Structure formats: structure tokens, C-alpha cells
A and B are shown apart, each in its own frame.
Chain A
Amino acid sequence: MSRRISAEKYVEIIKDSIKEYGSDPQNEEQKLARKKIMLLALPVLTFLFSFPVGRYGIAPGELITILLAKILPIPHTWPSTLDTVVFQVRLPRIIAAMLVGAALSTAGAAYQGMFKNPLVSPDILGATAGAAFGAALGIYFNFGIAGIQLSSFVFGLLAVGLAYLVGGRIRHDPMLALVLAGILIGTIFSSSTSLLKFMADPYEKLPAITYWLLGSLSSIAPKDIWFIIGPMILGFGPLYLLRWRLNVLSMGEEEAKALGLETGRLRITVILCSTLVTAAAVSISGMIGFVGLVIPHLTRMIVGPDYKALIPASILLGSAYLVVVDDLARVLTTVEVPLGILTSVIGAPFFIYLILRSKGGWQ
């Protein structure tokens, strides 16, 4: 098999290989380390800079003292309203934005791998449609805030559960069957939501339902965080741990099996975890589009398609993104614009700019 290579050709090959390896491996490592630091710093910085943003201004120095006072014995020299703003209003809202952003982008990334399709978002199996119906139902029947959230969460899980059951009975390629079932169940739930809106009292309940469906974090309270923290941890944990297997799963059902994966078991775990985090997120924030579809793409542009890096990076980038957009929602206009509108209005043009610039390296 030995092939004779001319000297020029040889030089060319060496040049190519140098280009391929990125001049020298150390440089590559440095690049990677820089990316890591940037990705880790992003949520921390957005977290800190989001406190002062809003109608009640807080100076950064003041903020740090207030936060430190929670752990250190610092004399209380500021008005107690500041405490309320920081701990009862801003902190829960920022944490909620981070959790919701992380949840939607992680679920989106996981689903895109599982369905071998980069156009998939977390609502593909009906989680969002189910959760929206649950919330509308809660508003319609006056369940109260906790009741609305619970109903939303439960219906989100229920919709995906139904889609999974129906999909399992369709005799076809299992992935296609699942998507088909998800679309069908989603349609049933979203038309039921429309029916509820149609029947709802147009002066009180209809606006409430509509507003909820637009998505917002403006009325987040500390107890909302406690409500979703359990399902979030239950969902994020396995998705994070199984991230190598998501790579393998994205190669397709048969190949993944031949490589040693019990695909059925893995698939149900991924669906369950993604649904837990999505339903929990939607139950406190309402419908927030775009994040679950596009943040995984954005992340892939930065760290590449390997799920080992993609899942943690999606968590970091998704949380930072939603916090920033939520900050904008707070300050852009005097009346707060619903977050669900802003995520797309800001995100879509930004994304278009990125794809045009990146020469298709995102896929």
C-alpha cells in the first residue's frame, strides 16, 4: 500500500496537517480554556449586574454589602425596603430566569440529539402545549397561583406521557412515531386551550390566560423557586450525567444499539428528564419560545457538537441569555413587555446575524 509521494506534495501535506491541528496543540488548549472561562463568567456577571436593573435602583457597592450581610455580621445601615427588593423581588426573579433559561436550552439540546434533528425544540412532544392548557385550566377554574402552577406542571408531564404511550403503539420508526404522537397530542391540548379562552370571561380571565401564555417572570416570588427546584434537580442531574450517551444516540437508533446502548431505556430517561425541567420552567414562566431551539445552536457554534461540552455550556449560556432578556423586559418600557415576546424579538435577529456570519458551521 505504499504510495510514493513527491517532495512538494509532502510539504503540502505537512502544511495541511499543521493547519488542521491549529498551528500547535497548546494554542488549541488555550483557546478552549478561554472559552471555558468566558462561559463560566457569563452567568455570574449577568447575575450580579441584574440586581441594580429595574425601577428601584441599587448601587453595585450597596448590593454587595447587602448580599454579604446575609453571611457576615455587617451592621444594618440601609432601609429595609432594600432588603425586600433584593431578596424578595430581584433575587427570586433572577434565579427563576436562570433556571428557566437553563432548563429550556438543556431540554432543547437533549431533544435535538435524541431526534437527530437540529430543528427540534423542547415542546416537540407536547410539554409546553400541555403546560399551557394546565395553566389556562387553573385560571379558568380559579385554582389560585399555586394551583395554576401545579396544574400546569402536571399537564405538561401528562401531555408528554400520552405522546409517549401513543407513539409506542404506532408501528413505525420509533422516533418518527414519537414526533408524530407529540404533534397530535400537542394539537389536542392547544386547541383545548383555545376552547378555554373562548369560554373564559373576556374581562377578567381571558386577559389573564392570554398574559400567562405570553410568558413573564414579573410576578415571581421566592416560593416559586422552591416549587420548581426539585423537578429541576431531578431533570438536570441525569441529563448532565448521560451527556456522552447523547452523542451516541444522535448517530441513530440502530447504530447506537450496535455500539452498546439500550436505546429504549436511554430515550425514556431523556424524555422524562427534559419534560421535568421544561414543565417546571413553563409552570412558573409561561410560554417562552425560541430559547430551547436556538440556545443549543448558539452553544454548538461556540463549543462544537460534542454533548460532553454542549450540555454544561447550554446550561450556562441559556441561563445568562434569559437573565439578560428579562433585564431588558424590566427596563425597556414603562409597562413591562412580556418576556416571551422579547426572547424572540431580540433573539431571532441576533441569531440571523450569527448564521449569516458563521458560514454554516453551526448545522
Chain B
Amino acid sequence: MKFRVCNGKCGYGTTTVLQDVTFTVESGEVLCLLGPNGTGKTTLFKSILGLLKIQAGSIELDGKDLLTLSRAQIARMIGYIPQAHNPPFPFKVLDVILMGRTAHLGVFASPGKEDLKIAEEILDTLNIRHLRNKIYTKISGGEKQLVMIARALTQKPLMLVMDEPTAALDFGNQLLVLSHIRRLADSGLGIVMASHFPDHAFLYSTKVILLKSGGLYAVGTPAEVITEQNLERLYGVNVKIVNTGVQNSRDKSEGREIQVCVPVLHAS
């Protein structure tokens, strides 16, 4: 799988929000999108999902131009995981997950046995079988986020796009969701996620995009891009990046230590 945005110009109507957007995501990569509020993360997301037509440039998935594809064709390749929210009706978790099969069904069809089987498998993959018959509107935020991931997985996509998957989750659920994301990438999916936490990027991503108003500020590995200098320029805050001395079990072979950002507070 190779997803490529080349010289993209993203925006609404005649206003352009982002220019010269160029990056790639491949199988197994986790691309983390960092940037202050209002720099165009949502705009970029909508463009990646084909919900917003790019004004110039190209977006390709495995060589196919996204703009020429139907919604169902896109949905069979890209799964979208929105921030968990409440739908107006109390659907069962299983029904919500089965909605992910829509792109594979005929116009007048409903999910059948085969679709149910796929959904059941994914319930097991994510360890959420116990949620199967619960009411989606009544489960916790962390559980909802997992159900959203399960729904996207039933689309059998090549790539997942996640809008701040850890927002509104408690500490344990953040790490749970992020480790699932990491595992999904290891199984061959390409992942794009927006985040507000450089620490998460250090922990789980292989590639980072920094957004500054108007365009991409930097693209590269977390270590290259998330620097004290860049964070100060982007967010206007003083940050020290510290090596913790702790190694992530999966990075042991590379001998990489976990890094974290520590804010330096000024005496006012």
C-alpha cells in the first residue's frame, strides 16, 4: 500500500488552508499529524478522505487518483475513525460495527452471514467481544473509540485515518488505543493520525508531520522533526526533550530510548 499526496492544495471553496502538501504513507507506517489548533488538520483529513476536493495537486492510493473513485471504492481502501460521539439512536455495538461493511454491499443489501463473520473476527482481534450486544450510546468513551476502530477494520481497508483517537480518553485507555494502533500498523495497515501530544508521536509513530498555518512545516521521523526548536516555533512554548533511559520493548533492537517533552515553566 502506498498513499501519496503531491503538491496538494487543500481548502474550502475559494479559500486555501494548506499549500504544497507533499507526503507519503506506506504499509506499516504510523504517520502522526501534529500542529496547533486551527492550522488545518481537519482540512487535511477531509482531503485525505476525499470528502473535500483538493484544489490542486494529486492524491493517490496505489497509483489510483482518489478524485476519480466512488465513495464506496474509497471506503474499501481507507477507513475513517472519527472522535467517538453519540449517534441519535441507541444502536447495538454489533450493528455499529457492521456499518463498516456498507461499502462492500450492494445498494439494496443488508449485511449477511459473511459480514457478520468478519465483524465477529474483529471483535476478537480488538478484545471487545464483551461489548458485542451492548448499546453503543451507553458504553464508555474508551470503549466507543475501540468500536469505531472495529467498524473501520470491517471495511477491510488498506489505510486508517484517525482524528485524535486519544482525545477524551483516560490515561489507560489512551495507551490501550495507541498500542492497538501500533499493532494494526505492524499487521500491514498504513495509519494517519492527528494528535495533540508529541509524546504519543515519540512512542507510537514512525513518521511525523508538523503543521504550521498555511502548510507543512516539517516531515520526518519523530526524532528528526520533534525538536525543542520546532516545538517552540510551532506552539510558542519552551520545551525540553528528555531521554528517559527507558526503552520501548519493541525498539530494543534499535536501542532507542523513549523520549518525552517536558515543558519549562517561566517564573512570571
Question: Which residues of A does B touch, CB under 8 Å?
Answer: 1, 13, 16-17, 20-22, 112-113, 116-118, 241-245, 247-248, 250-252, 254-255, 257-263, 300, 304-306, 308, 361, 363
**Min C-beta distance of B114 to chain A, whole Å:** 15
> Which of B76, B92, B105, B108 contacts A304 (CB under 8 A)?
B92
* B108 touching A242, Cβ below 8 Å: yes
Q: Is the CB of A260 within 8 A of B88?
A: no
Q: Is the CB of A308 within 8 A of B110?
A: yes
Contact B110 A251 (CB under 8 A): no
Chain A residues with CB under 8 Å of B107's CB are: 241-242, 245
The CB with the most chain A CB atoms within 10 A, among B78, B89, B100, B105, is that of B89
A248: B residues at CB distance < 8 A: 99, 102
Q: Which of A248, A258, A261, A304 gathers the greatest number of chain B CB atoms within 10 Å?
A: A258
Q: Which residue of B lies closest to A241 (CB)?
A: B108
What's the minimum C-beta distance from B14 to chain A, rounded to whole angstroms?
12
> What separation, in Å, do the CA atoms of A260 and B90 have in the docked complex?
22
**Chain B nearest CB, measured from A101 CB (Å):** 22
Q: Distance (Å) between the CB of A28 and the closest chain B CB?
A: 9
Contact indicator B95/A247 (Cβ below 8 Å): yes
Contact (Cβ within 8 A) B105 A1: no
> Which residues 57-115 in B have Cβ within 8 Å of A in the complex?
70-72, 74-76, 78-80, 82, 87-92, 95, 99-100, 102-103, 105, 107-111
For the complex, give the distance between the alpha carbons of A151 and B4 in Å.
56
> Which residues of A are found within 8 Å of B49, using beta-carbon distances?
257-258
B176 at interface by CB-CB < 8 Å = yes
Given A17-B130, A20-B133, A306-B92, residue A260 in contact with residue B72 (CB < 8 A)? yes
Residues of A within 8 A of B76 (CB): 260
What's the Cα separation between A20 and B131 when bound, in Å?
Answer: 9
B12 CB → nearest A CB, Å: 10
Contact B75 A251 (CB under 8 A): no
| Interface pair B70/A262, CB less than 8 Å apart | yes
B242 within 8 A of A: no
- Assess whether A244 is in contact with B80, with CB atoms less than 8 Å apart: no
B13 CB, nearest partner CB in chain A, Å: 8
Q: At the interface, yes or no: B256 with Cβ under 8 Å from chain A?
A: no
Report how far A300 CA is from B92 CA in the complex, Å: 13
Is the CB–CB distance between B92 and A260 below 8 Å? Answer: no
Q: Which of B118-173 contact A (CB under 8 A)?
A: 127, 130, 133-134, 137, 151, 155
Q: How far is the CB of B149 from chain A (nearest CB, A)?
A: 13
